[in-house]
Chains A and B, each alone.
Chain A
Amino acid sequence: MTRPVKLACRHVWKLYGPHPERLVGKSPSLDEIRASGHVGAVRDVSLNIGEGEIFVIMGLSGSGKSTLVRCLSRLIEPTAGEILYDGEDLLKASPARMIEIRRHHMGMVFQHFALLPHLTVLENVAFPLEVQGMARPAREARAREVIALVGLQGREGHYPRQLSGGQQQRVGIARSLAVEPDLWFLDEPFSALDPLIRREMQEEFLRIQKQLKKTIVFITHDFDEAIRLADHIAIMKDGAVVQVASPEELVLAPADDYVRAFTAHVSRAKVITLGRIAVPGVPADVAGTLPAEARVEAVAEQVVTAGRPFAVEREGAVIGHVTPQAVIDVLIGRGG
């Protein structure tokens, strides 16, 4: 299950204040930073983001998650640290190289959509290609493709203000995908949407990702959203990463009380996978085979209705089985 690392950061700091450079060499504690009149927006963050995974950075407002993602994309210059994209340190890249990387390898979706009000949907989506100097017919053809991908055919001539919030964010998604980036940043993309639309957009997002398999850095303050989408979650507090883990590990083994407070109310069935509750051996009367990565909630009805155990397999090999009883135990919060 280990993937090659696409994007990594090493000891990234972002301090605001009178003399951030002087302070950062001392690896100051939170109290030291505050006492010296600085603000520690990002403190000593190191992460590995694997190719093709959805990596969620989760934190409450003011925890530094937005600053961190802007450091990763170098929209904000970190005070110290390394940002490694395919092994290349972005902080050492020249402005021209940075423009080159952003034009061809990065895409970003914004919380408030950041659509250009004076351009149509088609022109908005084609904008990143226009900036590269692509000719009009080619860029418009490509823009139409991604507009179709997000289901907005027929709206190409509309202006952003004529669209609903959900539709506007679809435009934002299409625009960020127009250049076929391999790194896709999403900064709280669904936070400004109504709950029903948000749900729908999450489904849509998962559908697109299944098709495209981008490396994704996804920011959210919504823990439910994080566990729904993430392969890995980094939880941030006061600018530092508290824990990096899969949703399942977070729930089962929270690193501290802060993480525990988030996970306490989460339904176990939403995060626990069959691989976790499978027991070795395969009985003769199995009703079928299920993947180990499947979450209990997703298959509960199937297993309980069948009334018989299911074999569990990972990467083609059977690793054991689950019984309806084990599934019910997880559902009602017993054991697990």
Chain B
Amino acid sequence: MKTWPLIWAGLAVVALVLARAVAVPDGWLWPPQAMHLPLARWISAGMAWLTDSAAIGPVTVKDLTRGFARLIEAPYEAARVLLVEGITEGRGRRATTIVPPLSWVAVTVAAVALGHYARDIWLGLIAGALMLYLAVFGQWDSAMITLASIVIAVPLGVAGGLGLGIAALHWRPFERVLSPVLDLMQTVPTFAYLVPVLVLFGFGPVAALLATVIYAMPPMVRVTLVALRGVPPEIVDFANMAGCTPGQRMRKVMLPVALPDLMVGVNQVIMLSLNMVIIASMIGAGGLGADVLESLRRLNIGGGIEAGLAITALAVVLDRLGQALATRAGGGRGAKGNWLRRHPRTVLVLAVTLISAAAGYLIPAVQDWPKEWTVTTKGFWADLMQWINVNYYDQLEALRNWTLVNLLIPVKDFLLALPWPFVLGTVALAGWALGGWRLAALTGALGLFLAATGLWEQAMITLYLCGVSVLIAMCIGVPLGIWAASGETAGKVIGAVIDTLQTLPSFVYLIPVVMLFRVGDFSAMIAVVLYALVPAVRYTAHGLRSVPEELIEAGIVSGATRGQILRKIRLPMAVPMMLLGLNQTILLALSMLVITALVGTRDLGQEVYIALTKADVGRGLVAGLSVAAIAIIADRLIGAAAKGARERLEGGA
């Protein structure tokens, strides 16, 4: 094992020489044409067959998907009627409202009541205030469109995840099939989902909703499996001894006992749904995501920031309510008495809904927040941007150029100058060093897949942008994590900040970056760093905090200074956890890279984005799978390194 550092150093030297000094012959720099498999064409052909002529008996797949879409459309339409449109008569401008949608008053009161139910009146007030914010700043209608999608997507995602999880629990072969599929689904970037959904279900809110459900479901499946497996075996034995039928055992024992853990999954589904609903605006979801997208396309800074802040408000409301509900699950039940007494909040909300609907006929302000009361901040943001650009243009531009010239471009050139067999060999060798021949075979095979897709150049650009961003994210995140672990107050403040960062849909990160640095690799890098920072901080802090108190005490008794304790005890013990953080950072960076395609990168993300705009399933999936291949290589290599580090620590203990 001692020889590995030497080997790596030697490889680095070879790499530098190859990149700088040697003219690499054709076919060695990038994989030759002959190697390319027409994967995209195959997938597209398969898809075309699936949509055009595939049939199960007399039912074509097309009918099936359309029927499925209609199944989802009905509840979605109901949610839209309730929150957005109301029941109207006539069409277009002459449409008259017969029954209005829920008024802003009713929805805000409902948010307050839900907050109060989930935790206390303070959470209720926060939720209510944020809803009020949406009304005051003129984002109400878009927010309600987004909310309507979430209200439908979340139950579907939760129910689907529960169903698949329970099926996998009872039927081992199914789990063995499901598990790698879930792995893949979590590494394939979000945009790649959109393409086949687009082809199968067409452009529109229903397709967007489906993509959202598919995207948000995998964590629920996993959480279901873990939560149900976590039910103590004695409790399962008890259920059997009490004479439960299998159905009773699941309904009356397993699910209620696992409920607190399941709620964690529900919260994840909520947050992922929000993230995806925003992204799915690209295939017609509408709502806040569409506002952001439009603003980005037209470089309408003010509008983008307003919509972005509205998404943030909605995200915070949903996240805090979801978390509070998860904590609350497993708590006792409320008061006794008749239905009215037991459900005071429900009664209140129903009353407010009816009264506000009635009052809305007389006083329109109760129904719709009046336009003239709306505060707009568009001008403010535009002015602010102008001011920044007028006064700090040189500094910002200098920062951008310096980074491009000294960091981004050299790394990019270096990676693009490496011959592909060398890269492939290095990846396989790393697999062998960290996890033996099995891992070497896996990483080598995935590398070969990348070579065969014909997207080698884009893959290397992805690697470069991701690598630089992750490096910077770690350089910022690790010290922040150390700081957060150093004291109570610092931990709380940083924890609150990264909690908020994590609730924001990835789209939102693009807005300030584009404002300040225009489009290009530098902007993409900053957005990725911001988005991928969270796990670096969180895992570092968690790793440092979970070092056993005994070891710290042993250090103190030995007379170590604070710095020595950090360097010689805490950090080495935290290495496995920090490696997991690095792993998460890379995965987040890759998923964000695809979204930064909107600001004009030239990597695999762009490839997916182009495929999306052209509805080219083959191209989109191949590029998506390529990103997944990079993600899996990184994930397995770092996972093996973390495992090795942990074993060394535990073996020594």
Contact = CB atoms under 8 A, between A and B. Distances in A.
A128 B243 contact: yes
Interface in A306-325: none
A328 to B, nearest CB: 46
A111 to B, nearest CB: 7
Interface string A147-190: 00000000000010000000000000000000000000100000
A119 B259 CA distance: 13
Contacts of B563: none
Given A110-B238, A112-B232, A117 B243 contact: no
A75 B243 contact: no
Interface residues of B, number: 19
Contact of A118 (B232, B238, B330): B330
A116 B256 contact: yes
Interface in A94-122: 99-100, 102-104, 106-108, 110-114, 116-119
B254 to A, nearest CB: 10
B332 A159 contact: yes
Contacts, number: 57
Given A116-B253, A116-B257, A131-B248, A102 B242 contact: yes
Interface in B275-334: 330, 332
Contacts of A111: 234
Given A114-B232, A116-B235, A117-B330, A75 B240 contact: yes
Contacts of B253: 116
Chain B facing A: main interface SS: helix
A127 interface: yes
B165 to A, nearest CB: 19
A102 B573 CA distance: 50
A130 B234 CA distance: 19
A108 B245 contact: no
Q: Which of B241, B253, B332 has the most chain A CB within a 10 Å cutoff?
A: B241
Most central of A111, A113, A118, A132 by chain B CB within 10 Å: A118
B234 A106 contact: no
Contact of B240 (A102, A112, A127): A102
B63 interface: no
A117 B241 contact: no
Interface string A223-240: 000000000000000000
Given A114-B235, A131-B248, A75 B257 contact: no
A223 B235 CA distance: 27
B159 interface: no
A75 B234 contact: no
Contacts of A185: 241
Nearest to B235: A114
Nearest to B336: A157
B252 to A, nearest CB: 7
B244 interface: yes
A114 B234 contact: yes
Contacts of B237: 70, 75, 108, 110, 114
A131 B244 CA distance: 6
B238 to A, nearest CB: 4
Interface in B214-251: 232, 234-235, 237-238, 240-245, 248
B259 A99 contact: no
Given A114-B235, A118-B257, A131 B332 contact: no
A112 B234 contact: yes
A117 B257 contact: yes
Contacts of A70: 237
B234 A128 contact: no
A110 B240 CA distance: 13
A63 interface: no
Contacts of A112: 232, 234
A131 B242 contact: yes
Contacts of A131: 242-244, 248, 252
Contacts of A128: 242-243
25 contacts: A99-B243, A99-B244, A102-B240, A102-B242, A102-B243, A103-B243, A104-B243, A106-B241, A110-B234, A110-B237, A112-B234, A114-B232, A114-B237, A114-B238, A116-B256, A118-B330, A119-B256, A127-B252, A128-B242, A130-B252, A131-B242, A131-B243, A131-B248, A131-B252, A185-B241
Of all A-B residue pairs in the complex, the 4 with the closest CB atoms, nearest first, are A103-B243, A114-B234, A102-B243, A128-B242
Interface of B: 232, 234-235, 237-238, 240-245, 248, 252-253, 256-257, 259, 330, 332
